Structure 1
Amino acid sequence: MAAVRRNVVTDTAARDAYVRGVKLLKAEQTTATTADFGIPGTPAPVRTYDLFVIWHHLAMNQPVPPGGDSSVRNRAHRGPVFLPWHRVMLGVLEANLQRVLQEPEFGLPYWDWSADGDLAAPQSATLWKPEWLGGQGRPVADGPFAFRPGTPGTFRIRIEATLDNNLRQVNRGLRRAFGRPNASPTLPGTDDVDLAYDTVADPALATYDFSPWNTTSRGFRNRLEGFRGTGLHNQVHLWVGGDMLPASSPNDPVFYLHHCNVDRLWEGWMNRHGRTYLPTMAAPASLTGHRIDDEIVSPLGPAATPRSVLDPGTLYSYDTLP
């Protein structure tokens, strides 16, 4: 039976299972060490959860085309593959959570941040209460991922991205800094999401993506990623702040709840406009990694392509779609 992905705020069972599963993956050692990824310092075991942090960081620093500028387009962002790449990552995490929880029908929950964006003070939303994910701080001091040195199993950040886009070993608590004025003072609201589907105001939103396939492109992908329009995905990272800002952003467990909602919004778009994707394989080789049948490289799961993940119905569904 396919998993059902539910709202983390309204489904406490999904919330509790997610927290428990994250902690299990954070404690689970793999056969890899930091030396395998060229991370300086004394080689240390890499936990399963931290493999996802490394995976995301490496993808963000692999430019497309090779030898180009990763800030223009990389293997996971700033181009058409943004949504399929993260769908693959979420699926691999979900499978690992199902494994460690021994719950084969567990569905990764989502955070509907647009509901919190409608609040006068998004930082007061339910998600940030101690019973859910805890609040902000350097480090976060409450909730299930609070940093409590000396307490067995305390949540630790062990690998982070540096300002010059390298990885380094650390041993510290999780950081969040909500709504900084120089980043994003608020979250996207429901009106912002509605605008992303408004093909009357912008007919280009009925098409997945357009040339030049980067942050200037028209279409739904770039609107949802947040380089055009009101911000959406990008704005959420900026508003949460702290560990959600660098390429090592999966360090914050809210990353996956955020991207699960992004995936839900994409699924809502496909329900309206069909399971379509661009560019085709007729696009030049300089776009390798972003074309419909290009391989999405996953060090943690089987290879996939954008085409292969357009219909996830046999694996999961959402309790509600926009």
Structure 2
Amino acid sequence: MKLTSILSAAAVGLSAIGLVDAQQNQPACSSIYTRKELLSLTSTEWNLYKAILSAMQRDGWFQWFAYLHTAWFGQIHGNSQFFPFHRRFVYEWERVGKQYNSGFAQPYWDEMRDYRAPATSQVLTSNWLGGNGQGANMCVQNGNQAGWTMTYPSSHCFSRNFRNNGNMNTWYSPEYINSFVQRSANMADFRPGIEFSLHGIVHLDVGGDMSQRNSPNDWIFMLHHTNIDRLWWQWQMNGHLWAMDGPNYDGSAISLDSNMPYFSEPIRSVMQLGYGQMCYQYASNPIRRRDMDASTESRLVSKLPKDVLAEWFPQTAKSPIAEITPSAELIANNSGKEIPYPGKIPMEWVQAHGLKISEAKHAEEDARRFVDAMKKAGYKSLH
């Protein structure tokens, strides 16, 4: 198999409105394509994507990306390379897919939609990605990768092994992720909070190939990291567009000029969607809750007591919605349910992968404190 060529970042350019941004050295994209939520794909799009994925498996691309992720695992987890490397990694995967058909755009899976009972998600049914593995080797028998033989790190059936006896744990609610996006002041806070919450639990709960360093064997990896990238972009759009701080993989202070492992391109080259090679955008999510849009969720959150709102949703607390909806109008009597505690990430797993137990414990404690605060305030979620 020929290794894919890595395109270098473009030279200094002007922004779309003709003004030079002091930190932006990428030209504006001439056209933008859209990454959609998986279940919003049309049947025509899904059939095309399935054919592309089968061709990529045939030609060894699943093997190649599983190898890359394994080879660079220690440099791209547990430090601030986590977001930029995976953005570039998913883009490279998408670029290969476009070589088979230019209409390919890597979708995302909004896992927060399914957080209460992820094992029952429509995404994990036979018409889509298939479910849990079966038999002694937990080989997946249905979905788009059914019966595949993966060749990295050695020949084996494509596998999944859902945690919690096949039922999976509860994941992270949309409200918690929204809260975390609002509260995180810098990359040094944002990265471990996401890496050791939603990111980690999806990898572990899906299990099988997905819980190993060679996790790109499972296409859920790409769906998952596209969603993680979408959340990073939301955080960037909350006043953190060029925020890149915290540790690099070698312990030094990271910066926009630090190179991403393997790609040897500066982090600044992937920071702004719509510029350089990052010629994509994210579609709004039309399917998280068909009877509940984002503004409805914001109005429900805004009914929290003012002190709770200020602590957990500081941006919502400052918005006009908080003024329109008095905090005295609590929602304890609505038709929703309390937010449950998310499942835990085993500290043995964290330690075995050379990651910081202190960061994982802090993320776990933060999520539990959030749930406690919502319960005490009488908050009921419609998700």
* CA shift for structure 1 position 195: 2.6
Cα shift readout 1:188-242 (whole Å, capped 9, x = no counterpart):
221231231232xxxxx12122xxxxxxxxx11111112xxxx111111111111
The unaligned stretches of length 5 or more in structure 2 are 1-30, 286-293, 295-383
**In the alignment, residue 58 of structure 1 is paired with which amino acid?**
A
The aligned residue for residue 62 of structure 2 is 49
Distance 2:186 2:110 in 1: 24
Which of 110, 118, 128 does residue 112 from structure 1 map onto? Answer: 110
The aligned residue for residue 220 of structure 1 is 190
* CA shift for structure 1 position 18: 2.9
Q: Are 1:2 and 2:25 matched, yes or no? A: no
- Is residue 162–residue 206 contact of structure 2 (8 Å, CA) maintained in 1? yes
Q: Are 1:263 and 2:256 matched, yes or no? A: no
Q: Are 1:304 and 2:268 matched, yes or no? A: no
The aligned residue for residue 164 of structure 2 is 180
* CA shift for structure 1 position 285: 9.6
* CA shift for structure 1 position 184: 6.0
The verdict on how the C-alpha distance between 1:183 and 1:129 changes in structure 2, with shifts beyond 3 A counting, is: closer
SS in 1 for 2:265: coil
**In the alignment, residue 208 of structure 2 is paired with which amino acid?**
G
* CA shift for structure 1 position 134: 0.7
- Is residue 277–residue 306 contact of structure 1 (8 Å, CA) maintained in 2? no
- Is residue 293–residue 307 contact of structure 1 (8 Å, CA) maintained in 2? yes
Which of 48, 57, 63 does residue 26 from structure 1 map onto? Answer: 57
Q: Are 1:318 and 2:282 matched, yes or no? A: yes
**In the alignment, residue 152 of structure 2 is paired with which amino acid?**
I
Q: How many residues align?
A: 248
Which of 150, 175, 182 does residue 198 from structure 1 map onto? Answer: 182
* CA shift for structure 1 position 296: 1.6
Cα shift readout 1:234-291 (whole Å, capped 9, x = no counterpart):
11111111111111111111100000000000001011123123338xx899436944
- Is residue 118–residue 169 contact of structure 2 (8 Å, CA) maintained in 1? no
Cα shift readout 1:130-152 (whole Å, capped 9, x = no counterpart):
111111111011112111xxxxx
**In the alignment, residue 81 of structure 1 is paired with which amino acid?**
Q
The aligned residue for residue 44 of structure 1 is none
SS in 2 for 1:198: helix
The aligned residue for residue 118 of structure 2 is 122
Distance 2:240 2:182 in 1: 16
- Is residue 8–residue 14 contact of structure 1 (8 Å, CA) maintained in 2? no
* CA shift for structure 1 position 97: 0.3
- Is residue 79–residue 249 contact of structure 2 (8 Å, CA) maintained in 1? no
SS in 2 for 1:232: helix
After the TM superposition, which of the residue ranges 181-190 and 124-133 deviates more from structure 2?
181-190
- Is residue 181–residue 234 contact of structure 2 (8 Å, CA) maintained in 1? no
The aligned residue for residue 127 of structure 2 is 131
Distance 1:10 1:124 in 2: 18
Q: Are 1:287 and 2:251 matched, yes or no? A: yes
**In the alignment, residue 271 of structure 2 is paired with which amino acid?**
L
Structure of larger gyration radius: 2
Cα shift readout 1:115-144 (whole Å, capped 9, x = no counterpart):
0103xx321111011111111111011112
Distance 1:86 1:2 in 2: 20
The unaligned stretches of length 5 or more in structure 1 are 29-46, 61-73, 148-154, 161-168, 200-204, 210-218
* CA shift for structure 1 position 78: 0.5
- Is residue 81–residue 291 contact of structure 1 (8 Å, CA) maintained in 2? no
Cα shift readout 1:87-122 (whole Å, capped 9, x = no counterpart):
010110010001112x2x43210000000103xx32
The aligned residue for residue 372 of structure 2 is none
Q: Are 1:207 and 2:186 matched, yes or no? A: yes
- Is residue 114–residue 187 contact of structure 1 (8 Å, CA) maintained in 2? yes
The aligned residue for residue 215 of structure 1 is none
Distance 1:188 1:98 in 2: 32
- Is residue 277–residue 307 contact of structure 1 (8 Å, CA) maintained in 2? no
Percent identical pairs in the alignment equals 26
RMSD: 2.4
The aligned residue for residue 198 of structure 2 is 232
Distance 2:200 2:158 in 1: 20
- Is residue 294–residue 306 contact of structure 1 (8 Å, CA) maintained in 2? yes
- Is residue 53–residue 249 contact of structure 1 (8 Å, CA) maintained in 2? yes
- Is residue 182–residue 238 contact of structure 2 (8 Å, CA) maintained in 1? no
**In the alignment, residue 237 of structure 1 is paired with which amino acid?**
H
Distance 1:291 1:80 in 2: 9
- Is residue 85–residue 296 contact of structure 1 (8 Å, CA) maintained in 2? yes
The verdict on how the C-alpha distance between 1:189 and 1:285 changes in structure 2, with shifts beyond 3 A counting, is: closer
Structure showing the higher strand proportion among its residues: 1
